[in-house]
Amino acid sequence: MHWTASATDGAARAGILATDHGDVPTPAFMPVGTQATVKGLTPAELAGLGAGIVLANAYHLHLRPGSEVVRRLGGLHAFMGWEGPILTDSGGFQVFSLAKLAAIDEDGVTFRSHLDGSTHRFTPELVMEIEAALGADIVMAFDDCAPYPCDEPSARAAMERTARWAERSLAAHARIQAERPWPWRQRLYGIVQGSVYPALRRESARRLAELDLPGYAIGGLSVGEEKALMLDMLEVTVPEMPADRPRYLMGVGFPEDVVAAIARGIDMFDCVAPTRQGRTGAAFTRDGRVNVENARFAEDGQPLDPECECMVCATWSRAYLRHLFKSGEMLGPRLLSHHNVAFLVDLTAEARAAIAAGEFDAWSARWTRRYANTPQAEVSCTS
Amino acid sequence: MHWTASATDGAARAGILATDHGDVPTPAFMPVGTQATVKGLTPAELAGLGAGIVLANAYHLHLRPGSEVVRRLGGLHAFMGWEGPILTDSGGFQVFSLAKLAAIDEDGVTFRSHLDGSTHRFTPELVMEIEAALGADIVMAFDDCAPYPCDEPSARAAMERTARWAERSLAAHARIQAERPWPWRQRLYGIVQGSVYPALRRESARRLAELDLPGYAIGGLSVGEEKALMLDMLEVTVPEMPADRPRYLMGVGFPEDVVAAIARGIDMFDCVAPTRQGRTGAAFTRDGRVNVENARFAEDGQPLDPECECMVCATWSRAYLRHLFKSGEMLGPRLLSHHNVAFLVDLTAEARAAIAAGEFDAWSARWTRRYANTPQAEVSCTS
């Protein structure tokens, strides 16, 4: 089995995700390495802080340096120097959000690169070729990711197209894996769409489940809707997803969202927040988010989070980290990114232990109360 | 003894610099951590690549975060998390080059901060207080660093003032060390000035030698003069410096300059070149400098320098490093800075071994020929 449950506690699940590049305990936070680098951090650091799997992005890597270049250099693992599992996003989200969209039709999408305006075309089949060239352990189907807000007919059209494209992605993926495999197995995940419409979400999940894929993601959330609405969507969608397959909530999250989503049965997460926030001086701590440039840290000799065991908290004071940011030193963004990624990874490890102990509800209530009820929360919650 | 020779080969010397934070084999390259951080690198990485001692700067740290803040946080070692020896420059060079200079008089210098325009005053006594607060193992006397070019009367005046300020620095240093010592010893080095005038350089070296300081630096070189002129100055100055004290050539260097200066009896070096060059994509290799953004590296799977044993060369290809720079990823500057610092540290280790083996001339000729005679040298030599 690709994923095996080891414990459940209410809807929350702990398990093991097995890949040819190693096993990953779930719930798992996957640091985002869009351009084949988790911004500022080395693979050795990521492994050291406990990350088990990292993300990369087919859209970005296709445009630069080119997926065939990555293939010729031995695939993403060799290229970026990460020996653990990798998941590539298909670029569905980026094509609709980042690129200049020229046209969508039933066959695919024609768009212009956000880098140089050059014209490109993605179809499910072409994206499967790109992801095969990159060589990740888990590859995402090409989906039609509706924007938010989106009226119901448009959301239905995008959801139905996503379902048809998932079938085509699967056929192409199976063909390519048979014709030209890497020495390791690549697994295709489907992406549930449906915007904020419960009926569409349920239908999307059911239609994808028929494809018997090794894993399923929930896409098109955390795109601007209210948090309560996102959680509602999880509650209607998750029960329709196969219980024996891993569930991946795309683009989430912030620590509080990760905890809330684990409670609703999610196993895998990715989000740029830890590194993006870290680059601006915002740090996650068990007592909420803080901005290290705050004047009250000027002579504060304590670690960022006294309970954190990461390299940053073991070595430097808040005063030093503040100095790095005040001085515009590149070590500052690096160290805060490191701490924030470690914080998310540790959070999922704590959640896993709580699930295994059958104490998830008590743990998550305690964790959430402490994280939210803090005089230190100074940073707005938008990413 | 603070410094002990272990081998000599012509004018070149190998030795050990002893401090309360550890011993450093010389010749030694000292990575520059102006603002209490070697740009982009952690102390653990610096130790891992073999750096034995790092630099910080009194001018910068006095302005931000403040030397007394650093003292209250346990001194520079604790503040920046570096357990090895540290040397602080006095700020003489920065006051004359970076700050907006208001006025110099016999007692000291009044200047405006390059950060916020605020007015400050440095005297030898005040600078000794600042460097005592920072707590480095080696502190530099406050000097009057003449610009280049500089007419001889002005150069003489600056050299003579430097000699008088060195006496005052020593008196203040001795008083402060007696009154308020750290648990480790701080040692004061003098700085030879005299611009490009041999008679002034000789006189400066002789006058400073009378102070019987534990070490001596050569300042005011590598400030725009031709390289041959810099080497001429070393040849006239070094013989006047005490043979049993370490000799530190400030602000040098580029690899080829380090080799040439070791040949002339220099033991210690510092330069921002490895990190500054690294941030722009320029890498030192045994075959000369290369710019990793060069198109010919697009699919080059080799390490930056196949003979280099640093973490970067052990892990990533030229193609990947090029991709990082082309993509504007912060890991690129970090990794090239790491490699370049490792390259300088390795270079001094190779020189040391050659001196110990009595083969320095042959080694340096071979090294210099290979480094210079390369189709890869694409980057101009100005720092």
Q: Is residue B379 over pLDDT 70?
A: no
CA distance A42 to chain B (A): 8
- What integer best gives the mean pLDDT of chain A? 96
Residue A326 has its nearest CB partner, among B64, B74, B322, at: B64
| Listed range (A305-314, A373-382, B94-103, B279-288) with the worst mean pLDDT | A373-382
Q: Mean pLDDT, to the nearest integer, of B220-231?
A: 96
- What integer best gives the mean pLDDT of chain B? 96
Contact yes or no for B78/A323 (Cβ under 8 A)? no
pLDDT of residue B373: 79
pLDDT of residue B5: 98
- Report the catalytic residues of A: 89, 270
The interface predicted TM-score of the complex, written ipTM, equals 0.97
Q: How far apart are CA B318 and CA B324, in angstroms?
A: 10
Interface of B with A in 314-353 (CB under 8 A): 315-317, 319-320, 322-324, 326-327, 329-331, 333-335
Determine contact: A113 vs chain B, CB below 8 A: no
pLDDT in tens, A170-187: 999 999 999 999 999 999
pLDDT of residue A376: 45
Which domains does chain B show, CATH number per domain?
Answer: 3-271 (3.20.20.105), 278-372 (no CATH)
Determine contact: B269 vs chain A, CB below 8 A: no
Determine contact: B35 vs chain A, CB below 8 A: yes
Q: Mean pLDDT, to the nearest integer, of B14-36?
A: 98
Contact yes or no for B171/B149 (Cβ under 8 A)? no
Dihedrals phi, psi of B130, to nearest 5 degrees:
-65, -50
Q: How far apart are CA B225 and CA B157, in angstroms?
A: 20
- Within 8 A by CB and 6+ apart from A291, the residues are A281, A282, A283, A378, A379
pLDDT of residue B241: 98
CA distance A299 to chain B (A): 7
Indicate yes or no: CB of A65 within 8 angstroms of CB of B317. no
**DSSP per-residue string spanning B33-95:** -TTSS-TT--HHHHHHTT---EEEEHHHHHHTT-HHHHHHTTHHHHHHT--S-EEEE-SHHHH
Q: Is residue A383 over pLDDT 70?
A: no
Q: Is residue A353 over pLDDT 80?
A: yes
pLDDT in tens, B339-356: 999 999 999 999 999 999
Q: How far apart are CA A105 and CA A99, in angstroms?
A: 16
pLDDT in tens, A252-261: 999 999 999 9
Q: What is the DSSP-derived secondary structure letter of residue B142?
A: P
Q: Is residue A378 over pLDDT 70?
A: no
Q: How far apart are CA A104 and CA A262, in angstroms?
A: 34
Name the residue of chain B whose CA is nearest to A301's CA. Answer: B73
To test the contact with chain B by mutation, choose from A323, A335, A337, A338 the residue with the greatest count of B C-beta atoms within 10 A, namely: A323
pLDDT in tens, B81-95: 999 999 999 998 999
pLDDT of residue B374: 62
If pLDDT is split at 50, 70 and 90, which confidence band does B100 have? confident
CB pairs under 8 A between A and B: 106
Pairing mode of beta strands B247-249, B268-271:
parallel
% of chain A with per-residue pLDDT over 90 = 95
Q: Is residue B378 over pLDDT 50?
A: no
Q: Which two tokens stand for residue A249?
A: 């909530």
pLDDT of residue A374: 62
pTM: 0.96
Determine contact: A36 vs chain B, CB below 8 A: yes
Contact yes or no for B217/B249 (Cβ under 8 A)? yes
pLDDT in tens, B194-216: 999 999 999 999 999 999 999 99
pLDDT in tens, A19-47: 999 999 999 999 999 999 999 999 999 99
Name the residue of chain A whose CA is nearest to B41's CA. Answer: A331
